[in-house]
Amino acid sequence: MRIKFILLILLQVLLLAGIIGYREYWIATGDRVLLRTAPVDPRDIFRGDYVQLSYDITNLDLDILSAKEDFRPNEKIYVALVKNEDGTYRALSAGKAMPQGVKFIQGRVKYETPVTQRWEIQLKDDSGNIHALAPRWFSGVNTGDRVTFCLGQRNNVVNYFKEDVQYKPYCSPGNLTITGTIEDIKEIKFRQVNVEYGIESYFVEEGKGRAIESARNAKEVKVEVALKKDGKGIITGLMMDSKTVSAGMHGDDSFNLNIGFNPKVPLHKMKKQDIFALRKSKVDEYGDIGIYSKQYIPEESIFGKIDEQADWVQDTQFFIVNPYLLVVDSAGEYVDALIPCCPALSILYSKNKISVKYENEPAKKWLYYINDYYKDSKGVVRLWFVNALDAGFKYAYVDSSRSMNVEPAADAPADHVMKGIYSPREFFHVGHYKKNNISPNDPKAKLKLKDKNGRTIIYVKLWRNQPATVSAQEDFAYVIEVNPDGK
């Protein structure tokens, strides 16, 4: 028995040594390329800190790349690469056949979007200069309108606001700001494919993952990848300010993750299977935190009545691509989420809790939308639970002991979300606008602000199974904090 045990240990050691040796050979002999990326920072409790990565070559415009083939989920795809002036590589072409005579990377298709859109905008600023901008989404604006654009570190459009004489547009700290008049708007439809390359996670020394997260909006992050002859890649280094972050193998299960939000994606006449694939891809972005099942499938009772032939109420599309906004806040009876127009300081995940924080100017703007923007909302906050339902949280309660400046809206029923255990019943369907929308318009999920300009906290307790009382320990907490004074 002792000999068998020793042999088993030796076999495991040899196997581990073989894996390490194979990896080192791959790194030593692979063809090196440098890719541009924007990281986020979850944490793996078994293997240490890691950075989750999404590349410039993750979403490919098949029309620009002159790719004529159609792609199915999990299908192998080869992306030919060409070098930029800054030393990074971009996609040159994409197809099912292995390219010859060029550097290329092999990936797997997550999903293809048959028809998506991008915009090319020309803006004339107050000095007469023309700026070419390419927002991921653009609506509600016409030529001749004055608009403020918020630009990120790569001059990408982070947000935009149509000029409002009642309220000055606001950009987050660190954003560049351009204000001017819209000269031209071009909407371009194209085919897009989302690809995984097996290099979407990189493990770093314990404690460095959080530092990378805090630096992601201020620094450009690049990844060095070693490519095998078949195009498979392995990360050899993650670089910030030309410095490589070393790998590590330490563990830590306490962490904060800034989730952020995704802009609306046009879903008009998109097939259900493509909508579901898009939804699943957004769930998978933070799949390791365990809010959604690893075998996630969109809930039939919520998504089953989507009509492929019908258009969408524009703001309803926001819910599809933001599954981790479990409880979405809007004004009055409107489905328009407030986060895109009042950029939250943070949407922070910690263990069994998500906290959405609005501070200073965004908080003031949030209060403005709740109180004054819509004539018929007048201080009413609507909570939407469709994403919480899809994640399996079927019961909710707004805890008045942990909340601030909110009370049930007028004529609230006995089973109101602040009076007892609330069981939401929200779903997507074609409503009276003849477009895909969210129903129902539920008075049980409406709150009223006590003080029009006061600091507000909405503490929502969520359960997967019905609790005995509202005082039961929640399975998950979702907290919305609005702090106009930033104190």
Per-residue model confidence (pLDDT) at position 188: 84
Residue carrying structure tokens 């996630």: 296
Tens digit of each residue's pLDDT (9 = 90 or more) over 383-393: 999 999 999 99
Per-residue model confidence (pLDDT) at position 208: 53
pLDDT greater than 90 at residue 461: yes
In 3D, which of 462, 453, 486, 461 has the Cα closest to residue 357? 486
Per-residue model confidence (pLDDT) at position 160: 85
pLDDT-derived band at 175 (thresholds 50, 70, 90) equals confident
Which residues lie below 8 Å from residue 447, measured CB to CB, with a gap of 6+? 380, 381, 383, 398, 406, 407, 408, 409, 417, 418, 458
Average pLDDT over residues 342-355: 83
Q: Is 93 left (phi over 0), alpha (psi -120 to 50) or beta?
A: beta
Its pTM stands at 0.54
In 3D, which of 197, 155, 159, 153 has the Cα closest to residue 60? 197
Tens digit of each residue's pLDDT (9 = 90 or more) over 2-38: 665 565 666 665 555 454 454 555 455 567 888 887 5
pLDDT greater than 60 at residue 348: yes
Lowest mean pLDDT among 23-27, 226-230, 372-376: 23-27
Percent of the chain with pLDDT strictly greater than 70: 80
- Give me Rg for the CA atoms of the chain: 24
Q: To 10 degrees, the CA torsion angle through 231, 235, 240, 242?
A: -70
Question: Of 24-33, 321-330, 405-414, which one has max mean pLDDT?
Answer: 321-330
Tens digit of each residue's pLDDT (9 = 90 or more) over 105-120: 999 998 887 767 778 9
Residue carrying structure tokens 């905008």: 121
Per-residue model confidence (pLDDT) at position 9: 62
Number of alpha carbons in the 13 Å side-chain half-sphere of residue 161: 24
Tens digit of each residue's pLDDT (9 = 90 or more) over 129-172: 999 998 877 888 899 999 999 887 667 888 888 876 555 566 76
Strands, E assignment, 97-156: 104-125, 130-133, 146-151
Average pLDDT over residues 83-93: 89
